[in-house]
Chains A and B, each alone.
Chain A
């Protein structure tokens, strides 16, 4: 593989065991992320996007029934590592995460400065003083006043707490930062402010992001590459420029058409039906039942086609494809 790929996911599978069968949350997903870029994973609730983030960081619940594939970070496959090596060498050292509703994931009885400093003490072997100095430096980066170091989470507003959670993910200078719905619980202006912070960090410090979200409009604030996830599978990988103007997969097209717009009079549409259950997903294309372009071939599972350098998992592109990836 080329040297520049920072993160390479190949054929990642994550199934959960339940009383009524296997939930195929992440189903043979392959993706790659280049250095200093941001990849957006776009999908509706329940499509498996958070499971995928957790699969990358190996933060798994106990009922996993199948977990396989390759996660290659900077040229090294981390999947064969045992849990202790993974914790020491990968988690927070190479990849960190801002979990969903991160502002509520802070410990209420510990000062925020100490919480932010903790990863630096654990993973970088810093002394407490060094770590606190580093924490105050990181606070400056995300726009939290330095005197907030000694405050408790309840003394901070939602937006400030979210910034603290981002600071916690940044303090160890990881190569990749996974952001799971980083702004969805926040107000409009706070949301825009946090997006500004993330952009600045990317431009000035060359951070690489994996941004997981269902909010198409907000995702365009950060995206270099967009991957669309539907029912556990990646159905399209496209660069931001062409995705937001001309999405390829019918699901992406429908999703874009459903966004209400402030500055145009175009009538928004909705997608009839609902996503299939991940318990027993249909054979063939998983979007077929809701797809306006359905035809005979859709009963068989579509391969991933390469169209002008973009990837799309749909039979419609069989003729236009310049390559077959799967």
Chain B
């Protein structure tokens, strides 16, 4: 694998500017809370008004802490959750209208890389059987074709020599190898979109980079669109062109990756960047300036900006009452924060 991770920080040459693969419009995913199983007591606002477009061949990252709704958002792309409000379009088709054969076809276009490779692989199946399963489900009858595609997928994720791995069970593989099987399974139907949910958070440091490079290589070779979901900002820049920061069910900042790292606008994004350590002995001598408290409950989210109770630059009477709209402060750099109201208006004029 000779792909460089850093060079791809600039727009991907294969991005076809106009072809939008996935389009999310004002998506809300709420879960109902019930008392004794029937009477309604409230909603968990897991995803609350998310919109974005993903072009073909583009990689985006969604960064947020646990409980901010990033997994609920991801499951909605896979149609494991139904949107409460708003729409998700895949190649122009509203996915919530899909049924039967069309739904199956849609799912074969989307690959899913799970977080915990051991939990995601059935322990009683061999690697061959695990990789064959999607092919059988999607009606590929010829045994030789299936075998051939399994081998090709294994070569692609460098599980070689293939013979050594075909008949092994997941517990006989190391963490890195298990994650390769998960990736091979996601790739075997030759998807257009790959959704990776924290694909390296369970792996050791030395293996982590290897898996990230592998995902990058697959993305470039197959011109895949990738949604990379993570809490770890330091891995994001090696992987995607754009980054979305999520907090309490909302995307609070969207920007190109180098824009966001050099010039974070939202106070929460700033805190995330401060919180990410680099290995440096000087760290031990200073305290970090981190906002106190924890993310709010999604059942009764705070009024106004959802970050205001933890924010040191909160404007009384505005941030705690009115929700900030999206301000485009620089071209392509959008932030949901009242601090940038004037700056955004200037840009408009």
Contacts and interface: CB of A to CB of B under 8 A. Distances in A.
A217 B276 CA distance: 8
Interface string A209-240: 00000111111111110000000000000001
A270 B206 contact: yes
B231 interface: yes
Contacts of B65: 187-190
A267 B231 contact: no
Nearest to A215: B205
Contact of A216 (B66, B273, B279): B279
Given A262-B237, A268-B5, A268-B238, A220 B288 contact: no
A318 B210 CA distance: 32
Given A189-B291, A268-B209, A262 B273 contact: yes
Question: Interface size class for chain B?
Answer: 35 or more
A220 B294 CA distance: 24
A255 B205 contact: yes
Nearest to A226: B281
Contact of B234 (A244, A256, A261): A261
Given A188-B65, A224-B284, A262 B207 contact: no
Contact of B233 (A45, A214, A220, A262): A262
A19 interface: no
A266 B6 CA distance: 8
Given A220-B281, A261-B234, A265-B6, A188 B276 contact: yes
B274 interface: yes
Interface in A237-279: 240-241, 243-245, 254-256, 258-263, 265-271, 274
Given A44-B205, A196-B288, A255-B206, A267 B281 contact: no
A193 B292 contact: yes
A254 B206 contact: yes
A59 interface: no
A223 B5 contact: no
B272 A262 contact: no
B288 A267 contact: no
Given A196-B287, A221-B277, A240-B281, A188 B231 contact: yes
Contacts of B238: 260, 268
A258 B206 contact: yes
Nearest to B292: A193
A321 interface: no
A45 B207 CA distance: 11
Contact of B272 (A188, A218, A267): A188
A267 B4 contact: yes
Contact of B277 (A189, A220, A267): A220
A139 B13 CA distance: 55
B280 A220 contact: yes
B82 interface: no
B278 interface: yes
Interface string A169-205: 0000000000000000001111111011001100000
A159 interface: yes
A132 B294 CA distance: 26
Interface of B: 4-6, 65-66, 174-176, 204-210, 212-213, 231-235, 237-238, 261, 271-281, 283-284, 287-288, 290-292, 294
Given A190-B65, A244-B279, 14 more contacts: A44-B204, A187-B66, A187-B231, A190-B294, A192-B288, A199-B284, A199-B287, A219-B279, A220-B277, A220-B281, A241-B281, A244-B280, A259-B205, A270-B207
